[in-house]
Amino acid sequence: MPDVTDPEPADDRSREPTHAHHDHDHDHDHDHDHDHNLPSGIALRVRALETLMVEKGLVDPAALDAIIDTYETRVGPRNGAQVVARAWTDPAFLTRLRLDATAAIAELGHGGRQGEHMRVVENTPDVHNLVVCTLCSCYPWAVLGLPPAWYKSSAYRARAVIAPREVLANFGVDVPASTEVRVWDSTAEIRYLVLPERPAGTEGWSEDALATLVTRDSMIGVARLAAPEGPPA
């Protein structure tokens, strides 16, 4: 994970109704520290408990494997990539996505748990969007799969709000001073998906080819998509 250490508590007093924070100074006194990263000792105890429950027939290992497979492969960033690629290639879909992201995403068969209330925010040359959950780790599982460990860390959750440009720089994203940075705070009521800018040099690419360029991090807002080195394979 990029270095986002030395966090300060985040603040929710200046939130706009859309849960957006702009990159100006905040007076922060918000102190929620629900770090979900499990220490190795706890992780080992969880695994031991899981093994015991399987041995006693209380849990079906095949069911556990199916759940893991769902969120790691079938429900994962490739779903979000499909949404992004469709928005790039279908203006009518983009319009519906802007008006009702949840319904538009459902058109592609993606929805359900952690994706019931979605909003898409678009990156442009003038605006760069960054998503965080300051309270815990609310995340759009239906389109991005399982959240990365750094997204759940208290450091990222605090620094993304109070110093978004520094956080982006730690991820290797240099946002020009002329570009506004908007920070969106996901909650149990609403989750955000960043629509990254379409890379240059992809004119005429198919939706499937475009989807291969889209990364999880670009849909959180901590990465930009580079122009491809050549035509799609």
**Is residue 138 among the annotated active site residues?**
yes
Q: Which of 14, 40, 138, 218 is catalytic?
A: 138
Query: What is the Cα–Cα distance from 19 to 191, expressed in whole angstroms?
Result: 10
Q: Which of 14, 40, 133, 154 is catalytic?
A: 133
Is the dihedral angle over the CA atoms 166, 170, 175, 180 positive or is it negative? Answer: negative
Tell how strand 118-122 and strand 180-185 pair up: unpaired
Which one, of 87, 93, 116, 128, lies nearest residue 191 by Cα? 116
H-run or E-run covering 192: strand 191-195
User: Can you tell me which residue has the tokens 């609310």?
Assistant: 138
Looking at beta carbons, which pairs linking 50-57 to residues 24 or more positions away fall under 8 Å? none
User: Can you tell me which residue has the tokens 């929620």?
Assistant: 32
Helix ranges (DSSP H) in the chain? 40-55, 61-69, 77-89, 91-99, 101-107, 141-144, 149-152, 154-162, 164-170, 207-211, 216-220
For the beta carbon of residue 153, count every other beta carbon within 10 angstroms. Answer: 19
**Is residue 133 among the annotated active site residues?**
yes
Residue numbers annotated as active site: 133, 136-138
